[in-house]
Every structure is written in C-alpha cells, then in structure tokens.
Amino acid sequence: MTTPAGRTDTRFSDGRRIVLSENQQLLNSVDTDTWDNAGYLITSARSVFVIGSGRSGLAAQMVAMRLMHLGLRVHVAGEVTAPAIRAGDLLIAVSGSGTTDSVVSAAKTAKKVSASVLAVTTTIGTPLTQHSDNVLIIPAADKQDHSADVTRQYAGSLFEQATLLAFDSLFQALWSYRDETAERLWERHANIG
Amino acid sequence: MTTPAGRTDTRFSDGRRIVLSENQQLLNSVDTDTWDNAGYLITSARSVFVIGSGRSGLAAQMVAMRLMHLGLRVHVAGEVTAPAIRAGDLLIAVSGSGTTDSVVSAAKTAKKVSASVLAVTTTIGTPLTQHSDNVLIIPAADKQDHSADVTRQYAGSLFEQATLLAFDSLFQALWSYRDETAERLWERHANIG
Amino acid sequence: MTTPAGRTDTRFSDGRRIVLSENQQLLNSVDTDTWDNAGYLITSARSVFVIGSGRSGLAAQMVAMRLMHLGLRVHVAGEVTAPAIRAGDLLIAVSGSGTTDSVVSAAKTAKKVSASVLAVTTTIGTPLTQHSDNVLIIPAADKQDHSADVTRQYAGSLFEQATLLAFDSLFQALWSYRDETAERLWERHANIG
Amino acid sequence: MTTPAGRTDTRFSDGRRIVLSENQQLLNSVDTDTWDNAGYLITSARSVFVIGSGRSGLAAQMVAMRLMHLGLRVHVAGEVTAPAIRAGDLLIAVSGSGTTDSVVSAAKTAKKVSASVLAVTTTIGTPLTQHSDNVLIIPAADKQDHSADVTRQYAGSLFEQATLLAFDSLFQALWSYRDETAERLWERHANIG
C-alpha cells in the first residue's frame, strides 16, 4: 500500500507503537492491591460467572477458559450449560462504560440472590459499580468515548486488550501461588470439540 | 494472600511484569512487512473468514468483530450464519502450533476451493503453513511447549495475547489508512443482542 | 429402569405420545395465512436478524441457518459478526412469554431504526407484540406457566419444538416456491469449521 | 404470494403436512427400549458431553440445556468452559450421516479416555457407530442424501427435528421418573445473560 497524501500512521509499526505504549502505561497505573484481592475473591468463590458484551465479552471468555484450566468452576453468562447464579458465587462483570444493559442487569440479579459482583470497568460512579461489591478500575476510555484523550485506539480496544493482559497477569500469579505444573493444568484442557 | 514458603512471583505485579515485557519483546520482533501486506490481503478479499480453537479462536473472534466494524464482510468458522468459503475469500487461520486439526482441515478446504489462506502461527514447517499462501509468524511458544524457554507464561497465553495486540495494531493502521471517523465505524456496531 | 411406585409416564414411549400429539394439535391450530405472509416478509427483507433466549434462541438459530441456505442474508443477534440492524431489515423475535428483556429490547431498537419486527410468541397483549409489526401466534404455554393446562411438557418445550417445526414447514414451502435443487442449496452450506 | 405455474406445495400448510406426518411416522418407528436404556446411561454418567455439527449441533445444545435443568452436569463440546472428557463421562454424539469429522474424532477421543459414547444417527456401519458403545437409530435420511426417498424435506431437517422431539420425549419420561416439580427445575434456569 502506498500511503494517501495527508494520512499518517498507516503502517503496522505505527499501530504497534501505539498499542504497546498505551498498554504499558495503562497497566502500570492500575491499583495492584485490588487485583491481588481479586485473585483471592476468584479462587474462593463457589462458582465463577463471567459476563461482558461484544469484544469485552470475548476477552471475558478468554479469562473464563483460563480459570477453568486452573481447576475452578466457571460459567459464561449466556452459555447453553450455564445454570442460575446463587449465593456464594462470584460474577465478574466486564463493561468499559459501566452502563451495558445486560451486564448491569446481571449485576443486579447477582446481588439479589446474594452472589458477589466484581466489576471490571474504566470508572466508578456508574450503574455497574453501584451494584458491585468490588471494582477493578482499568482507566482506559470506554468505547463510546471517541475523543482520543485517553487512547488513540478505536473505541474500547485499549480497555479490551488491557482486560485480557491484566487477567492473564493475575492468572500467572495465581498459578505460581497454587504451584501446579503446566502438565497438571493441561489435563483439564478440552480434548474434544 | 500470604505467599507460601518457597513460592515466588505470586503477586499481580509479578505477572504483569512478565506479561508486559514478553509482549513488548515479541511484538517488536515480528516482520512488519508481512503484517503490512496482510492488511492489503484482508481489505481486498471478497469475504474474510477466521478460524481458531480455544483462546486462539476467541482472539480470532475479537479480530473478526473489529474487521466487521471496518466495513468488511466477515465470518467466523462455526458460526451459525457462516456460509461456504469460496474463491476470492481469505481465511485467517490461527494456530500457535500449526497442527490444530480443525484449523489445518479448514486451510486444506480453503485451498481446494481456491480461497487464500493467511496463517497466524509460531513457526513454519507445519501442516498449517504447508497449506497457507501467506504466513504471519508470532514467534511465541505454542501451547503444548511447557519448557518455559520462550515464555514464562502458561501454555499459549503469550501467543494469544500477541495475536490480539498485533491485529489491533494492524487495525489501527488500516483505520488510519481508510480515514473514516470513529462515529462512522460506530454505526456498524451491533445495536441488538 | 424399574418404575417407582406411584409414578406413571416414565417411559420414552409415554413422552413420545405426549410430544407428538401436542405438536400435532398445536401446529394444526395456527393461522396459516399469517405464516404464508411471514414467508413473504422474510424473503423480501434486506437482511434477516433473529433473536431468542435459551432454547428459543437455539431454535431461532436453527431457523437462521436454514434461511442462510436458502440464499438470504441472515444474522443472529449476539453473534460476533452481526452488524447493526437498519431500515429495511426484518427482526424475527422469538419469546414464548413475550416478556424476555433482551428480546423486547431488541424489538424496540428495531422499531426505532425503522426495521420491521416479526414476533413469534404464545399470545398477544405483551411488551413484545406491542413493539411488533406482525405476530405469529403459537398458542403453547410460555415457559413460566407451570400449570399443565396447555401442555403436559416442561416449561417452554412445546413452544420451542413447535417454533422449529413451524419454521421448517415454512422453509419447505419457500424452497418449493423458489424451485431450487437441494444441490444448489447444499453449495451454500459451511465447508469449514 | 401467488404460486408460479408448475410449482406445488408452496404454502405453509403444505410444508406442515409433510413435517408433521414425517415426524409422526419416524418417531413411531424407533426402538423404544434403546431410548429407555439411553435415559439410564445419561442419568448415571459422571458428566454428560454433547457434540454435533450445524443444526444437529444446535438440537444437541437444546438437549444439553434441558438435561442441565434436570440437575445433571452437562457440557457442550466447543463451549468455552468445557473441560476434558474423562472415564465415567458420557458423550452424546449426534451425526445423521455418522461421518462428520469433528463428531467421529470426538467419539474416538472419548473411547481412548474410557468415556462412553452414545451415538445418535440414521444408520449403523459408519465411522461413528464403530466408535460408539450404544447407538440410537433415528432412521431419517442423512443430510447428504438428496434422493427424497426417506423424506421430502431438505437435507437433514427431519433428522434434526426428530432428534429434538425424541430427546424431549425422553426428558419428559426422566422428569416423571425423578418426580421433581417444575418449580424445582425452574430454579436451575440461568438467571443472568
């Protein structure tokens, strides 16, 4: 591709520079104590449910799959085999804006049945955080903020990337803490489908 | 959590250091020309299909959704509404090991019907690259390599993270090249479901 | 299995008798003109979207896949590659009770953007039918009616079965009308994944 | 719609007559003893896994969801949270032709780890039945039989419909046998997502 006149940053290397530096800066700004505490909440729940919409939901599913490999009981909201959430369960509710209808509605239901809600979002003071017991702030832009003040990336991309990287960082810590071999976790991986 | 005796790296910040540095190093090592060329292949295909298994498949779906926002015709293999792949279409086939049955099988079918195959994988010389027209190498460990030589992270985590970050880098470049506003892309986002 | 004392209808043949007779009676009671008209609405829409929750949603997906085989442009709400619904599109909204939040909400959005809504439900006078242009009544019990007045089957089973059988009946008619060979439709079937 | 010259059976009522009579005849021809035995196999398994491709897979998911409501531990192959299948588990493998790659491959894996395989298919003597412990024959045409000898419906439609109706018949029997109220089952229904 030749670059049209007047357009810049049209190469892969331009995008890479932005993606790497934004994630580096963002992840280094999160409150590590709340993440360590989240590790405790997740591993001590009866069952863990995750919910998110769009790409946030796909990132949440990547998190869910890894937690299953760790030996936890995990369900994805909307999955065919997901049962009712109940007292003692933990809902990881992922929404950059904190206003996604299905996610807020799930948080309300979780609270009503005395399950715990762990929000993953960009800011406090939203309908989601209002119905959450614990909040993990990833201070990226939410996907309806097109201002480019916080990120030069499109929509919620930075939030979605950082959600995956942060939970994989937490997984790495939990795995080290539980001290299981990779081979032991590997036995839990799906072998059909 | 108190750290059990003899176990180290059991904090979120330990995991974060590993995740960020590994992605930084890995992404800076990829061949940027092949990624720029991939951008051309993707945007000039009749329809784009993506396939991957497990977390690679979820990362591939995150990529697919963003390409749809860019205005491309995109299908995820296995999705209810995905039609047959045909000549002129492009298959983005994601497999760290290059040996995943369903992915290799899809690449073979794509070649048979004269569609193009763009492999995303950790190494050449595999069944997948054998049936691919173009190959994007992300030199992370594949998920069955438990040696910790290339990554200290579990299984294919680094490959899956880097796949998302690399394609989001490419998206950023393509978006800049096409010069559409965020508001224009936003109109394509799902408004129901 | 031996049958515990006091329990009847515990054999497959008992269930089969109920399932077959209930579907026979129910399907023969529907208004065939509204179904013939639905065939017209579906085949003349720009794109067809389907939405449903739980087993109704899975039945809706079976319908969607067959409509794709017929050559229509079809999307399932919530699918990764589903774009925004727009004017000229048709939403097939399946909810036995007519009160499922996500389905009613989708119907409202569809109306707002000037798309058409075709409700598939058990009764009129619900939030769903209120936001629908056309209604296909399948007068089974909805899944929260545990009275056994209308069906002896569990929850929404009869509604879900009849939704599949009715749409497959309609497909059979549309296929005959369009006069394509099975081989022609077969070419559209997914060949990867 | 007016019917084009020379085309018949182009009304909903034409399709309905075919769908209802074909299912009636087909379901009344199955071996009820093997279905009663299947009920025993399903309810005594450690965990139940289901697999199927395309519309057969969606019908299998409808079955899976209902079995979860019955209180069984159920997984859908390919679902994000599905773990490895192991000894003591049961795989319900649905394939009309008995040749679907992913289904046959899953049956092989299940046998290798000493899980049981219950095939749901149209005929014996196939790769699938070769790797199965028990077989439920639903003698519909498979979806690649376009001869119209066994069914006038398109492709595997009759097989897919009958699979749903047969398993819902079995569910009705199992529910009666277990003697739980609808309200008790209802508590297990997903309450979020």
pLDDT digits (tens, 9 = 90+) for A139-154: 997 666 666 778 999 9
Residue B105 lies in a domain: yes
Residue B193 contacts D, CB cutoff 8 Å: no
Per-residue pLDDT of chain D (193 residues; tens, 9 = 90+): 456 766 788 999 999 999 999 999 999 999 999 999 999 999 999 999 999 999 999 999 999 999 999 999 999 999 999 999 999 999 999 999 999 999 999 999 999 999 999 999 999 999 999 999 999 999 997 666 666 778 999 989 999 999 999 999 999 999 999 989 999 999 999 999 9
Residue A191 lies in a domain: no
Specify the DSSP class assigned to residue A52: E
Indicate which of C56, C76, C80 best probes the interface with B, i.e. most B CBs within 10 Å of its own CB: C80
Percent of chain A clearing pLDDT 90 (strictly above): 89
SS3 B160: helix
State residue B8's pLDDT score: 83
Rounded-to-integer distance, Cα C116 and Cα C134, Å: 8
Host domain of residue C94: 15-181
Residue A91 lies in a domain: yes
Of D80, D84, D106, which has the smallest distance from its Cβ to A189's Cβ? Answer: D84
- From the number of C-beta atoms within 10 Å of its C-beta (0-12, 13-18, 19+), residue D193 rates as buried
SS3 D135: strand
- From the number of C-beta atoms within 10 Å of its C-beta (0-12, 13-18, 19+), residue C86 rates as middle
Residue A34 lies in a domain: yes
Mean pLDDT for chain A overall? 94
CB A137 within 8 A of CB A31: yes
State residue C141's pLDDT score: 72
Residue B82 contacts C, CB cutoff 8 Å: yes
Active site residue A160: yes
Per-residue pLDDT of chain C (193 residues; tens, 9 = 90+): 456 767 788 999 999 999 999 999 999 999 999 999 999 999 999 999 999 999 999 999 999 999 999 999 999 999 999 999 999 999 999 999 999 999 999 999 999 999 999 999 999 999 999 999 999 999 997 666 666 778 999 989 999 999 999 999 999 999 999 989 999 999 999 999 9
Which of the following is catalytic: B22, B160, B180, B187?
Answer: B160
Which tens digits make up the pLDDT trace of A49-79? 999 999 999 999 999 999 999 999 999 999 9
- In angstroms, the Cα distances linking C60 to B44, C90, C103, C160, D189 are 33, 14, 12, 9, 19
Beta-carbon separation of A179 and B7 below 8 A: yes
The dihedrals phi and psi of A96, each to the nearest 5 degrees, come to: -55, -45
Per-residue pLDDT of chain A (193 residues; tens, 9 = 90+): 456 767 788 999 999 999 999 999 999 999 999 999 999 999 999 999 999 999 999 999 999 999 999 999 999 999 999 999 999 999 999 999 999 999 999 999 999 999 999 999 999 999 999 999 999 999 997 666 666 778 999 989 999 999 999 999 999 999 999 989 999 999 999 999 9
Rounded-to-integer distance, Cα A105 and Cα A116, Å: 14
Beta-carbon separation of B28 and A9 below 8 A: no
Q: Which residues pair with A49 in a beta bridge?
A: A75, A91
- CATH classification of the domain holding A124: 3.40.50.10490
The dihedrals phi and psi of B35, each to the nearest 5 degrees, come to: -75, -40
ipTM of this predicted structure: 0.95
Residue-by-residue DSSP string for D77-134: TT-TT-----TT-EEEEE-SSS--HHHHHHHHHHHHTT-EEEEEES-SSSHHHHT-SE
- In angstroms, the Cα distances linking C149 to C25, C140, C157 are 14, 10, 14
Residue A193 lies in a domain: no
Residue A58 lies in a domain: yes
Side chain identity at residue D13, one-letter code: S
Q: What is the total count of domains within chain A?
A: 1
Residue B102 contacts C, CB cutoff 8 Å: yes
Rounded-to-integer distance, Cα B146 and Cα B149, Å: 8
Beta-carbon separation of B154 and A175 below 8 A: yes
Q: Which two tokens stand for residue C141?
A: 């019990």
Q: Quick one: closest CA in D to C23, which residue?
A: D20
Which tens digits make up the pLDDT trace of B169-184? 999 999 999 989 999 9
Residue D39 lies in a domain: yes
Closest CA relative to residue C103, chosen from C65, C157, C66, C143 = C143
Q: Quick one: closest CA in C to B72, which residue?
A: C81
C58 interaction partners in chain A (CB closer than 8 Å): 80
Closest CA relative to residue C138, chosen from C38, C41, C48 = C38
Beta-carbon separation of B153 and A161 below 8 A: no
State residue C123's pLDDT score: 95
Residue A3 lies in a domain: no
Query: Using N-to-C axis directions, what is the helix angle for D157-178 and C157-178, rounded to 10°?
Result: 170
